[in-house]
Amino acid sequence: MNMDVINNTSVKEVVLIRHGKPLSAHNDKVNAAQYAQWVRNYDKSILDPTSHPKQKTHIDDSYIVVSPLLRAKLSAAYYGATEIDEELPHLKEMDIPYYKLPFTLRSWHWVVLSRALWFIGFKGRFESFKAAKQRVNLVSERIEKLCEKHERIVLFGHGMTNYYTRKSLIKNGWQLKQKDGDFWGITILHKPLP
């Protein structure tokens, strides 16, 4: 079993990998209804074949966990994961909110605006920010449980989910060794064995 050693101290390692860029992730100007469709397409999209990781990490001798969303599963397959140890529903992306607003904006500007409204409590037909954070806390709890049996866990997830999972793990004593929230980004955390 591959085990990292830092200063002769064995550690547990968690690797959070954000999925690759979805093929549907265009940045066209759209109105509110078109943006809502953009969100639905994003959730069902395959990966952009021209998008590749800036760097890769090994997944050998690791416990592999994936989000149930297609883009995460395809990213794991890109890495060569022939067997997935666990599909974790809580690891899915925090819902991308959308609101009926009288604007035409570029798709990613809609994401930023909608997320800002979502953060301050605007509700819609999607999970609330509070509920999403509670769900992500369940991801970090699952990771802690898995670390009782596995030294290295690799999770193929999503930008916001990975961000809040990282924050939750750091609060629980994990040390951040590397972070990258871009498409294909790799975030690595360590925790010394007791």
**Mean pLDDT on 11-21:** 96
User: Two tokens at 19?
Assistant: 């999925």
pLDDT at 4 over 50: no
Give the CATH number, domain containing residue 151.
3.40.50
pLDDT tens for each residue of 29-78? 999 999 999 999 998 999 999 999 999 999 999 999 999 999 999 999 99
State how far the Cα of 4 lies from the Cα of 115, in Å rounded to an integer.
Answer: 37
Domain containing 160 equals 5-192
What does the mean pLDDT of the chain come to? 93
User: What angle, 0 to 180 degrees and rounded to 10, lies between the N-to-C axes of helices 129-146 and 159-171?
Assistant: 60
pLDDT tens for each residue of 112-168? 999 999 999 999 989 999 999 999 999 999 999 999 999 999 999 999 999 999 999
State how far the Cα of 55 lies from the Cα of 71, in Å rounded to an integer.
Answer: 18
For the chain, the domain total comes to 1
The answer to whether the beta carbons of residues 97 and 114 sit under 8 Å apart is: yes
| pLDDT value for 193 | 76
State how far the Cα of 156 lies from the Cα of 139, in Å rounded to an integer.
Answer: 12
